Amino acid sequence: MAHQTDRRRFLARLLAGAGTLALVGCDKLSNSEWFTNVLSTGGSLSKNVHRLISARKSMAQEFSEADMSPNFRSNGTSLPSSAEYQALAKDNFRDWALTIDGLVEKPITLTLTQIQALPSRTQITRHDCVEGWSAIGKWTGTPLHEVLALVKPLPQAHFAVFYCADPMQDDGSQKYYESIDMDDAYHAQTMLAYKLNDETLPIKNGAPIRLRVERQLGYKQAKYIMRLALVEKLDHIGEGKGGYWEDSAGYEWYAGI
Ligand SMILES: Nc1nc2c(c(=O)[nH]1)N[C@H]1C(S)=C(S)[C@@H](COP(=O)(O)O)O[C@H]1N2
Ligand SMILES: [Mo]
């Protein structure tokens, strides 16, 4: 039965994803072998669904230094408007700290220095924004699984929710947030990035840390992370669907490419 449910979930994602991807423009997807396979009429649907299930552990394509975009643009917020964030930025984030709590055995709060002291990973990947641009950048950060090993998620923890610093309304009532499931949270390329192209992560790209979840679209790559909470269901975080753009513009929660 679990198998059946997994298949159904996957099929739903696949169909929902195909809708989103149609808007993106197919040229960006030509490197994605499974996507091409899924669209082709060659394979049976169930075979393709199986391919997708096993693809959950697959790596996003990594590139070489020569492929890097000369300039990684900023999109969405380029400087959070809150006084709290601007005070932290003024001090080079010395007083910033990330709290990781929710459904974990050991909630912790880590300073930027403590995060940077954990094992790191560097990867050159392509970022695809639904607004119609892509860029290849080099990211260095702490793999999220390193942080999860410290907090020890409880068995009922099913999603990681990233709360960001930037208010999306003038009155500050709604802030950017995003969420991913535990498959993506434990994925080898998923990281809390603090460097872009060998430099300290610039404010315009999400300082002091931003999420990289490489097999998903740009809006999942939460910038200006202030808190990370593990939850059982996404509706535990209010009326939301698990992300700012998911709530306000109907974007797909699973934005896999
Ligand atoms: N906190 C926060 N995260 C965010 C956004 C934002 O406005 N605020 N924009 C998203 C979108 S739509 C994209 S394409 C990328 C842009 O990342 P960049 O500014 O490094 O290019 O960040 C995503 N993460
Ligand atoms: Mo985006």
Nearest to 150 by CA among 68, 89, 228: 228
Q: Which of 175, 178, 180, 223 to mutate to test the pocket of ligand 1 (most atoms within 8 A of CB)?
A: 223
pLDDT tens-digit map of 95-135: 999 999 999 999 999 999 999 999 999 999 999 999 999 99
What's the mean pLDDT in 6-10? 44
Ordered by start, the domain boundaries in the chain are 2-249
Q: What integer pLDDT is reported at residue 23 of this predicted model?
A: 43
Please name the helix (run of DSSP H) or strand (run of DSSP E) that holds residue 46, with its range, or none. helix 45-55
Stretch among 10-19, 50-59, 62-71, 140-149 having the lowest mean pLDDT:
10-19
pLDDT computed for residue 52 by the predictor: 64
Which residues have C-beta under 5 Å from ligand 2, the single-atom ion? 129, 218-219
Yes or no: is domain 2-249 CATH 3.90.420.10?
yes
Tens digit of each residue's pLDDT (9 = 90 or more) over 41-79: 444 556 566 566 656 789 999 999 999 999 999 999 999
Residue 255: pLDDT over 80: yes
Where does the pLDDT of residue 235 fall: very low under 50, low under 70, confident under 90, or very high at 90 and above? confident
> How much is the pLDDT for 173?
85
pLDDT at 245 over 50: yes
pLDDT tens digit string along 154-210? 999 999 999 999 999 989 889 999 999 999 999 999 999 999 999 999 999 999 999
Ligand nearest to the CA of 20: 2
Nearest atom within ligand 1 for CA of residue 206:
20
Contact present, 210 and 222 (Cβ < 8 Å): yes
Ligand in nearest proximity to the CA of 71: 1
Is the peptide bond prior to 208 cis by the omega test (within 30 degrees of 0)? yes
CA atoms within 13 A on the CB side of 131: 9
Enumerate long-range contacts of 24-27, CB under 8 Å, 24 or more apart.
24/128, 24/130, 24/132, 24/217, 25/132
The reported pLDDT for the residue numbered 172 is 84
pTM tops 0.85, yes or no: no
Alpha-carbon distances, residue 87 vs 38, 90, 165, 192 (angstroms): 48, 5, 12, 22
* Average pLDDT taken over every residue of the chain: 85
Give me the helix-helix angle, 2-24 and 45-55, nearest 10°: 90
Atom of ligand 1 nearest to the CA of 76: 7
Q: Find residue 159's DSSP bridge partners.
A: 181, 231
Q: What does the pLDDT average to over 14-34?
A: 44
Q: State how far the alpha carbon of 68 is from the alpha carbons of 53, 134, 256, in Å.
A: 30, 11, 22
